[in-house]
Chain A
């Protein structure tokens, strides 16, 4: 019998998969620091992430939080910046730091066999970073150059401004750096911020991978003995001051051949009952390669290399964004098509097969996303920092499985209204 290539092989619907978030181990160090750990994986590698409540929501002067985070590995009382870097890199370990809005992190990726050699240096950074004046100078100078370069790029300008319109320039989610903010940073600012939010700050530890056998006692020795979690740290309230004007067009580079388009509206955080349903709607709209925006604007019209919509990953308040770079002469047409797709979602029921495809795609990717120790701990971290439990994981799956075209249409009528969106094109 000839092979039938026109009929798809039978599949198991991803909605029928039993997707589990594997539990993580939880314990508390002597100083009250909580540890969440997931042990597993085939390679002898591990990840340790220290999460501090030190994001830019806590700073009172612009860019102190990111600068402190960046420079805390640039010298201790006994080691120069070079020696700190050498201490990690000699063992093939990577010490990274990242500053977000609520939190700021120090993360260590290392071969398991070298964990014992590098953990003392991580501890030293939390207890004894000194922020040499010279390091701050080099940082500020080089960051200003980098900023000058970035300001040449339309997509960079567009990302800054759309957040500013949504949240206001004073809000942690809306503020950005300027040459002035780098020039005004002082060593004292950084030291004070470090003392309060790192050295004696609030910290949670996330671990994943293959652990050495004595992991708990090692952590207690190097992290559990630090003066962390002594003071109560209150998250300051920041009012959202959204722009009143909704439509913007900026000419950044008259010779530009493309425009960077951002279309955005406010959206509640993960605790809102519509969040999971909106993610399904978002996928249909512009959330993956097979979405309507991609199919129409890239695959049918060829206006852009890519167009995406997504819900911002914020803790307090999210936003719903459409983002693309399109040919200069087709920017307007692209924006019109985005609104047209919103209208179709508001006015027509999504086809049951299309909805099923999106559900399968979402749950299939979720199955892949909770595979592997780093991915699993990453999900736990997100839930813990957002004040959610594993119930959220299973409820989301339930919502994705159960949602019907009528509910999708209702969500579109609530959230995908053209008049609610800010619109920006940077040429």
Chain B
């Protein structure tokens, strides 16, 4: 049970505080309610590029990292399709440094042309390192485009193409900042050796004067129900064939969300999971296989992907996967197997909650979902999942027509 206090500033900034007196450290986490899904389709990759620019100096402070490091702190940030999250950890006694830095970059960035120029290059190198200069690096780009026809989850956070990143202008940067990086579009979470009354004073002092922005009305195109299976073939200079299949699933608020999560565990969680045991060990069709889901706020994708053993054909591998998937629809799981995946989830939650950093990020995420207290109800929701609910969820997800398949062939001559 993670205890926390919550208050809101007049400008709309939500603040959550979780005290842990066993640590000398504190974490300051700011989540901005903007992700790659909020981007203009002609200017993708912007939310992530912007995250880089947030370290290029703010209106009153030329350099973000240096004063934080001087205070004994470390920081980083990440961008997903749904959100952008910034976090720093530092000795609790120096926490005001984090308030000073974070509030100044929420007030306004420096908008330095040099920073934009350099970070465009850095992000292009990141793009190359992870998505071009890597075998199968383009697979997700292709799969997203195949699976989503309308919803902005069709592009990755890094962007749909290098060109979009290269073309970003200072006007784009400013517009994006003043649209999304406003206190009423952010959640501040402080965890560690801190007291709520002190945090109230600091929050008022540093964040209170920042004007609220125009509320952001998110109105994203929703993905229509997929009626027919889709597939594409890819051939590239990779050493082995890869099969990637996705199915549309419900979003984070869907009634079947927790059952879906457990379903991925049954199929792909660990060496006792069904796909691992049947397809890697018993039938020896795949050299590696995994099953997971996006965990996104809007309806995401349920994924099964694996690399084929040399000599196994794509159709044999695909049939074997579909047979396992079919079993989830036709046979009820026994209570023991459901208990296993619930136990695994309980364990995962407990280990995740060990650090004040994870607790801060979870509190921020659940607050974004509507209420940080939901974090403490998660385990009970998993425990309430029945074999019947998992089967019903499997029937919905694995419905005919809902599938997208990427056949990634090796054109290497053996």
Contact = CB atoms under 8 A, between A and B. Distances in A.
Given A17-B91, A303-B125, A256 B351 contact: no
Nearest to B277: A82
Interface stretch (B28-36, B71-79, B220-228, B396-404): B71-79
B61 A5 contact: yes
Contacts of B218: none
Contacts of B122: 298-299, 302, 304-305
Given A89-B344, A302-B119, A367-B25, A141 B287 contact: yes
Given A148-B240, A288-B69, A92 B270 contact: no
A139 B38 CA distance: 44
Interface string B371-400: 000000000000000000000000000000
Contacts of A374: 354
Interface size class of B (residues with CB under 8 A): 35 or more
B287 A89 contact: no
Contacts of A302: 117-122, 125
A145 interface: yes
Nearest to B238: A152
A3 B209 contact: yes
A304 B309 contact: no
Interface in A138-187: 138, 141-142, 145-146, 148-149, 151-154
A85 B270 contact: yes
Contacts of A76: none
B72 A17 contact: yes
A367 B347 contact: no
B287 A145 contact: yes
A149 B134 CA distance: 10
Interface core residue of A11, A288, A300, A367 (most chain B CB under 10 Å) = A11
Contacts of A304: 122, 125
Nearest to A8: B67
A13 B288 CA distance: 49
B343 interface: yes
A232 interface: no
Contacts of B269: 89
A304 B133 CA distance: 13
Given A9-B100, A138-B284, A299-B118, A93 B347 contact: yes
A86 B295 CA distance: 26
B204 to A, nearest CB: 11
A258 B119 CA distance: 17
A360 B94 CA distance: 12
Interface in A61-98: 81-82, 85-86, 89-94
A148 B239 contact: yes
A258 B67 contact: no
B413 interface: no
Given A258-B133, A372-B23, A14 B72 contact: yes
B298 to A, nearest CB: 28
B354 A43 contact: yes
A365 interface: yes
Q: What does DSSP make chain A's interface, helix, strand, loop or mixed?
A: mixed
A246 interface: no
A153 B135 contact: yes
Contacts of A44: 350
Q: What does DSSP make chain B's interface, helix, strand, loop or mixed?
A: helix
B72 A363 contact: yes
A41 B117 CA distance: 45
Interface string A116-149: 0000000000000000000000100110011011
A145 B287 CA distance: 7
A32 interface: no
A146 B280 CA distance: 14
Contacts of B280: 138, 142
B72 A360 contact: yes
Interface in B89-126: 89-91, 93-94, 96-97, 99-100, 103-104, 107, 117-126
A385 interface: no
B91 A364 contact: yes
A290 interface: yes
B129 A258 contact: yes
A109 B270 CA distance: 14
A89 B269 CA distance: 9
Contact of B350 (A12, A111, A372): A111
A365 B353 CA distance: 20
B367 to A, nearest CB: 21
Given A109-B351, A302-B122, A361 B72 contact: yes
B371 to A, nearest CB: 22
A367 B346 contact: no
B11 interface: no
Given A89-B270, A258-B125, A364-B90, A290 B133 contact: no
B354 A145 contact: no
A357 B66 contact: yes
A31 B23 CA distance: 36
A282 interface: no
Given A298-B122, A304-B122, A11 B344 contact: no
B271 interface: yes
Nearest to A109: B351
Contacts of A363: 72
Contact of B61 (A6, A43, A372): A6
Nearest to B359: A42
B281 interface: yes
Contacts of B124: 327
Nearest to A14: B72
Contacts of A40: 22
B355 interface: yes
Given A145-B240, A258-B129, A8 B97 contact: yes
9 contacts: A6-B60, A8-B70, A81-B281, A89-B272, A256-B133, A302-B121, A327-B128, A367-B25, A367-B91
Minimum-distance CB pairs A-B, first 3: A364-B72, A302-B121, A92-B347
Interface of A: 3, 5-6, 8-14, 17, 40-45, 81-82, 85-86, 89-94, 109-111, 114, 138, 141-142, 145-146, 148-149, 151-154, 253, 255-258, 288-290, 298-305, 325-327, 356-358, 360-361, 363-365, 367-368, 371-372, 374
